[in-house]
Amino acid sequence: MANEQPHYDQVLVDITDYVHDFKVETSSCWSAARMALMDAVGCAIESLHKNAACKNIINAVLLDSSDINGMRLPGTDLRLNPMNGAFALGTLIRFSDHNDSLGGAESGHPSDSLGAILAVADWIDRNERLVTIQDLLEAMVKAYEIQGCFQTENAFHAHGMDHVILVKVASTATACWLLRLTKKQTMDALSHAWMDSAPLRTYRSSPNTISRKGWAAGDACMRAVMFAMLCRSGVEGAPSALTAPRWGFYDSVWQSASFSLPRPYASWVIQNVFFKTMPAEGHGISAVEAAIQLSHEFRCHDGDRWKDIDKIRIRSTAATLRIISKAGPLHSPADRDHCIQFLVAVALLKGSAPEISDYADDGPWANDPKVDDLRNRMVVVEEESFTRDYLDLDRRTATNAVQIYFNDGTATEDIIVEHPVGHSKNPQTRPAVQRKFKDNLEHTYSKDEVLSIISMIENEHLPVHVLTDLLARRSSSGVLSRL
Ligand SMILES: C[C@H](C(=O)O)[C@@](O)(CC(=O)O)C(=O)O
């Protein structure tokens, strides 16, 4: 075979042209990006305060690192190099399964990339040149779009791959843009992201659902920043990383000649993500809403009333059955927040949505026999029309239907929820996301500080470090400390 230098793959060219040349202009897009930024920052602060396991994982990687001019990790007094910062922030945002998500042939969390974007933006702003809130928001719009366009029609899970490959690609592209790499350097860095491929998604699925699903995004963010930094320093890429016969991504792992993309990259995704109003796997959230409604109507959370339940039927999408329908013991918080039967049982018994502490091994529900008892009475089936509408870009429903059958032969209405709160088509979404942000921030910041953070996010000219300075918290000793 002739060892000719290949042209850059079209996928690399298109992502690069988009990330360097696209201009975000519409005000609805800026406002969507602000809301996404607030939500993701809130999720990071929430994990820091409510998820000890998350802190242990970050500590294990950071050791005692600190960098005097480093990016400031929100909620802490850590100053980190951008790679460590991307790991830590990406993990904090994602760990509690509360950050925004997007369905499609592949599902995923577009805000995972903020781990890389904010780490890099803050680090550049402190060390090299001004980076404004507007730059940060623009990078978010672009990362969301790249990840979301790939998610729409390409099922990475069908190849065993985890969707964080897209976090890696989207974060690499936007880190390169923020760092002002040339187009050639950007394509080189992107080629590394594709060559890196994806971890196996077995850590997200039964019987191996483990906490790695919560730090995989941090890992992807960290590698993305590393590729951008390497290529900035002149490291070469592999122009045909995807299309090279035999060894490229397509021949090696994709078993197909290309990806399918729904439309040219623009700014659709940021305006259509699903904001989670409860920390739970996204495909189960409308079932939780239905279960809460039923719990209130039939007082399932009252005393022994749950014992009158004979059967619970959940109709759902193929994605739900593939990702979160599980029988048998649940072994960890990750296993529980990825189990639709656990989510519905807790919602029925509590009469409200599960919270982070409800998943803990020593939490109130993990060892409550009522939960398993109810789980055993559930039947989860696919409703093909739900799957179709979920994949239909115009409808994008996230439907579950829940119906309870009682021992006396009666049954409840079949409660169908198509657009749960958090969906862009649900009018309650914006106020709910604003409430969630305030609740998450008020763990750490005073009400006045929360108002200042909101007005900083609204100030497009503000240097990013001014925001991250306000988000930083001193430890009681006033010195740099680990989490
Ligand atoms: C996007 C999903 C979620 O809402 O958490 C997902 O469950 C998707 C998946 O497992 O494929 C996730 O863990 O990222």
Examine residue 276 and state whether it is found in any structural domain, yes or no. Answer: no
Q: What is the mean pLDDT of residues 26-55?
A: 96
* Ligand 1 neighbour 204 (Cβ under 6 A): yes
Find, among 401, 340, 338, 333, the residue nearest to 364 by Cα: 333
Examine residue 143 and state whether it is found in any structural domain, yes or no. Answer: yes
Q: Are both 186 and 253 inside the same structural domain?
A: yes
Q: Which CATH number does the domain housing residue 181 bear?
A: 1.10.4100.10
Q: Are both 357 and 223 inside the same structural domain?
A: no
Examine residue 455 and state whether it is found in any structural domain, yes or no. Answer: no
Distance CA 168, CA 175 (A): 10
Task: Quote the crossing angle between the two packed helices 114-127 and 164-178, to the nearest 10°.
Answer: 20
* Ligand 1 neighbour 94 (Cβ under 6 A): no
Probe target for ligand 1 pocket from 97, 150, 337, with the most ligand atoms within 8 Å of CB: 97
DSSP string, 95-119: TTS-S-BB-SSS-B-GGGGHHHHHH
Q: Which CATH number does the domain housing residue 376 bear?
A: 3.30.1330.120
Picking from 417, 443, 473, the residue at the C-terminal end of a domain is 417
Q: Are both 319 and 247 inside the same structural domain?
A: no
Q: What is the mean pLDDT of residues 72-77?
A: 94
Ligand 1 centre to CA of 172 (Å) is 21
Examine residue 449 and state whether it is found in any structural domain, yes or no. Answer: no
Examine residue 473 and state whether it is found in any structural domain, yes or no. Answer: no
Q: Whole-model pTM?
A: 0.96
Q: Are both 411 and 290 inside the same structural domain?
A: yes
3-state helix, strand, coil in the chain (%, to 5): 55, 10, 40
Give the model's pLDDT for residue 268. 96
Tens digit of each residue's pLDDT (9 = 90 or more) over 221-268: 999 999 999 999 999 999 999 999 999 999 999 988 799 999 999 999
Residue 377: which domain range? 282-417
- Residues 195 and 231: beta-carbon distance below 8 Å: no
Q: Are both 202 and 165 inside the same structural domain?
A: yes
Give the model's pLDDT for residue 450. 96
Q: Whose C-alpha lies nearest to ligand 1, atom 4?
A: 282
Predicted confidence band of residue 66 (pLDDT cuts 50, 70, 90): confident
Find, among 147, 208, 210, the residue nearest to 359 by Cα: 210
Examine residue 321 and state whether it is found in any structural domain, yes or no. Answer: yes
Picking from 237, 271, 305, the residue at the C-terminal end of a domain is 271
Q: Are both 250 and 322 inside the same structural domain?
A: no
Q: Whose C-alpha lies nearest to ligand 1, atom 14?
A: 108
Predicted confidence band of residue 302 (pLDDT cuts 50, 70, 90): confident
Q: Are both 261 and 321 inside the same structural domain?
A: no
Q: Are both 223 and 324 inside the same structural domain?
A: no
Probe target for ligand 1 pocket from 107, 274, 317, with the most ligand atoms within 8 Å of CB: 107
Examine residue 423 and state whether it is found in any structural domain, yes or no. Answer: no
* Ligand 1 neighbour 97 (Cβ under 6 A): yes
Give the model's pLDDT for residue 482. 60
Examine residue 426 and state whether it is found in any structural domain, yes or no. Answer: no
Complex confidence, ipTM: 0.95
Q: Are both 365 and 222 inside the same structural domain?
A: no
* Ligand 1 neighbour 191 (Cβ under 6 A): no
Which is the closest atom of ligand 1 to the Cα of 283? 4
| First-residue to last-residue Cα distance in the chain | 53
- Residues 358 and 365: beta-carbon distance below 8 Å: yes
Picking from 271, 305, 329, the residue at the C-terminal end of a domain is 271
Give the model's pLDDT for residue 481. 53
Q: Are both 155 and 265 inside the same structural domain?
A: yes
Give percent of the chain with pLDDT exceeding 70: 98
Ligand 1 centre to CA of 107 (Å) is 6
Q: Are both 260 and 311 inside the same structural domain?
A: no
Give the model's pLDDT for residue 213. 97
Q: Are both 214 and 296 inside the same structural domain?
A: no
- Tell me how many domains the chain contains: 2
Q: Which residue has the higher pLDDT, 425 or 482?
A: 425
> Average per-residue pLDDT in the chain?
95
Chain-centre distance for alpha carbon 362: 26
Q: What is the mean pLDDT of residues 413-439?
A: 97
